[in-house]
Amino acid sequence: MLDSGRSRTFVRSCAVLALVAAGTAGCGSGGSGSGSAGSKSTTLKLITGVKSDPFYITMACAAQEEAGRRGVKLTVDGSAQWDVAVQRPIVDSVAASRPDGLLISPVDAAALTPSLSQLQNAGTKVVLVDTTVTDGSVGISRISSDNEAGGRTAAKALAELMGDKGSAIVISVKPGVSTTDARIKGFTEEMKANHPAVTLLPVLYDNDLPATAASQLQATLAAHPDLGGVFAGNTNTAQGVSTGLQAAGKQGTVKVAAFDAEPDEIAALKGGTLDVLVAQDPAGIGTQGVDQALAAIEKKQVTAQIGTTMVAITKANMDDPAVSKYIYKAAC
């Protein structure tokens, strides 16, 4: 993800900030798509976090394209909402079908571990894509953005937009989600360490509901008239924050940094209710997920930890082809 040591200004430079980090844990690098294609009898499954989310749609499209290129069958399913109770039956159904490989974005860092461990012990190669679980024994490869570094970068961008003064708040999904927890951690640490004149208000959680985020934003504005900045932890939160600012007539006055680059967020960026987007590379995650699963199935070297590219998108650079390719898709 984004390098916390960079001193370049997000908004002035509008530079693409890329962190392409691939580390190994006991294995060499591999699974880059080279070598023999998988057998046509090889079956892969992908379980996304929320199937209607353009982030996961973009990931699924790329994974299906890569699977087709490698000559294997991949089917995709996903939760209707970010909820363990919704995702668990999907995992159980997949386990019953005994696929050769499973790519999954767990919606909780602990609750699904027993099911995933059982599936892995039965012989399925499990690859964690985007989100992870705390049990390090689960997953032959973990592929995601450096969310903590991304949170730090969002904090630096927001502090500058605020003139390093006033109050700022984080609104996010819910505690216990590995990606958004890391974003909050990075954001909070950066603000406290390097922007002490910015007052951080307590984190609010909207349960991934835009309407809740909008209400929380409006209530915060009423209680804290000096509110100068908001960090929206994901796309649904960003949508709610954008709506809340418009309703309060504060768009442009209160600065917003948000994660992801989904179509609604791009529209809000154009309209001025969002100021900077930290875009991930879900397509790269999907492609690498297929490659790592096949490497394990084919008994080739597997890369245990992969960090994918991220870019900063602003209104000034959003039409640059090097940046616009990271905007998420609503359909394949």
Q: What is the pLDDT of residue 28?
A: 35
Indicate whether 52 and 201 sit together in one domain. Answer: no
Together in a domain, 119 and 169:
no
Q: How much is the average pLDDT of 120-132?
A: 95
Residue 67 lies in a domain: yes
73 lies in the same domain as 189: no
> Is residue 191 in some structural domain?
yes
CA atoms of 15 and 276, how far apart (whole Å) = 12
**Which of the residue ranges 59-73, 209-223, 265-279 would you say has the lowest mean pLDDT?**
265-279
> Does residue 7 lie within any of the structural domains?
no
Read off the pLDDT of residues 169-196 as tens digits, 9 standing for 90 and up. 999 999 988 889 999 999 999 999 999 9
User: For 139-165, what is each residue's pLDDT tens digit?
Assistant: 999 999 888 988 988 999 899 899 999
Question: CA of 214: how far to CAs of 145, 222, 224, in Å?
Answer: 27, 13, 15
Let me know whether 185 and 247 are in one domain: yes
Torsion from C-alpha of 116, 308, 29, 321, nearest 10 degrees: 140
Mean pLDDT in the chain?
87
Sorting pLDDT into bands at 50, 70 and 90, what band is 40? low
Q: What is the pLDDT of residue 283?
A: 95
pLDDT in tens, 240-290: 999 999 999 998 899 999 999 999 889 989 988 899 999 999 999 999 999
320 assigned to some structural domain: no
Tell me, yes or no, whether 314 lies in a domain.
no
Are residues 133 and 155 both part of a single domain?
Answer: no
Handedness of CA 83, 84, 87, 90 (dihedral sign): negative
pLDDT of residue 7 exceeding 90, the answer is no
Confidence of residue 112 (pLDDT cuts 50, 70, 90): very high
DSSP structure class, residue 233: -
State which residues form the domain around 105.
20-145+281-308
Report if residue 9 sits inside a domain. Answer: no
Q: What is the pLDDT of residues 301-315, one digit of tens each?
A: 999 999 888 888 889
Number of domains in the chain: 2
Helix (H) or strand (E) holding 171: strand 166-172
Asked if 123 and 196 sit in the same domain, the reply is: no
* 117/214 same-domain check: no
pLDDT at residue 5 is higher than 60: no
- Global pTM reads 0.73
The CATH code of the domain that includes 257 is 3.40.50.2300
